[in-house]
């Protein structure tokens, strides 16, 4: 394994002032760049550790309904792939409209899902009928996401999309078929792990909305959330 150049050295050698940068700004930016390089390397180490996870538990034999009204299993969602990513979104039949934050997340994945599905399968699962999910998708202009309805509440209950009191939570899960059987591979498992003063969030957060805001001076703010309309 090659030895990595120290982050501080790499940051200093690649620091190029922009017009009218002050020395104070450039020094602070180089210090920040050093931390950003360390963060990138940490993310890479975590990703490598994640890839080495053994198969998780075998998935129970849940039923789902696809856009054609056909009953399918998790295994059917894989298509030609050996890896499946599912997102359970908060759009149960009791909701007049879907969760705005789930909507922001899925909206950011609709176009890149064409690229994602070259390597993996990606499915959106909700408790509402697929026709209802698709109607909202068309309203938003989504064209590429694939939707399923879970039959009953066993799946969202088991995989942390549904609390005992009936409230919904989003759930991002990865599934694999190492032996022809579906196994759970990864889920965020981060609900309730946020630090003081933080809203619940992933680590790293997969939502582009929050990642872009984190680049700005105001950050995410303390009381702003996405809406379905503005």
Q: Could you read off the pLDDT of 30-76 as tens digits, one per residue?
A: 999 999 999 999 999 999 999 999 999 999 999 999 999 999 999 99
Compute CA distances 2 → 5, 9, 42, whole Å: 9, 16, 16
- pLDDT at 188 exceeding the cut of 90: no
Domain 64-187, CATH class in plain words = alpha beta
Mean pLDDT of 134-142: 98
For position 163, what pLDDT does the model report?
Answer: 87
Task: Please identify which residue in the block is written with the tokens 């993996």.
Answer: 120
- pLDDT at 204 exceeding the cut of 80: no
Mean pLDDT of 181-196: 88
d(CA 38, CA 41): 5
- pLDDT at 1 exceeding the cut of 80: no
3-state secondary structure at position 22: coil
Mean pLDDT of 76-89: 97
Strands of the chain, DSSP E: 64-65, 71-72, 83-88, 121-126, 147-150, 171-176, 183-187
Compute CA distances 9 → 5, 14, 19, 109, 164, whole Å: 7, 9, 23, 36, 52
Confidence at 120, pLDDT banded by 50, 70, 90: very high
For position 55, what pLDDT does the model report?
Answer: 95
Strand pairing partners for 72?
Answer: 64
For position 155, what pLDDT does the model report?
Answer: 98
Q: Within a 10 A sphere around the Cβ of 139, how many other Cβ atoms?
A: 10
For position 136, what pLDDT does the model report?
Answer: 98
Residues 127, 132, 134, 135, Cα dihedral to 10°: -150
């Amino acid at each position: 394994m090659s030895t990595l150049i120290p982050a501080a050295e790499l940051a200093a050698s690649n620091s190029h002032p922009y017009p009218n940068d002050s020395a104070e700004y450039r020094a602070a930016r180089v210090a920040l760049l050093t931390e950003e390089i360390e963060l990138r390397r940490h993310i890479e180490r975590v990703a490598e550790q994640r890839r080495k996870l053994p198969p998780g538990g075998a998935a129970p034999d849940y039923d789902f309904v696809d856009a054609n009204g056909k009953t399918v299993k998790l295994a059917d969602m894989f298509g030609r792939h050996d890896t499946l990513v599912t997102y359970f979104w908060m759009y149960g039949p009791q909701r007049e409209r879907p969760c705005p934050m789930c909507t922001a997340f899925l909206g950011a994945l609709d176009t890149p899902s064409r690229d994602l599905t070259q390597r993996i399968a990606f499915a959106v699962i909700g408790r509402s009928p697929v026709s209802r999910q698709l109607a909202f998708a068309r309203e938003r202009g989504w064209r590429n996401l694939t939707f399923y309805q879970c039959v009953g509440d066993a799946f969202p209950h088991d995989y942390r999309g549904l609390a005992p009191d009936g409230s919904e939570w989003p759930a991002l899960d990865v599934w694999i078929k190492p032996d022809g059987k579906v196994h759970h591979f990864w889920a965020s498992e981060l609900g309730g792990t946020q630090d003081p003063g933080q809203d619940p969030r992933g680590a790293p957060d997969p939502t582009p909305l929050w990642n872009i805001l984190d680049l700005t001076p105001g950050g995410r703010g303390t009381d702003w959330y996405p809406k379905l309309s503005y």
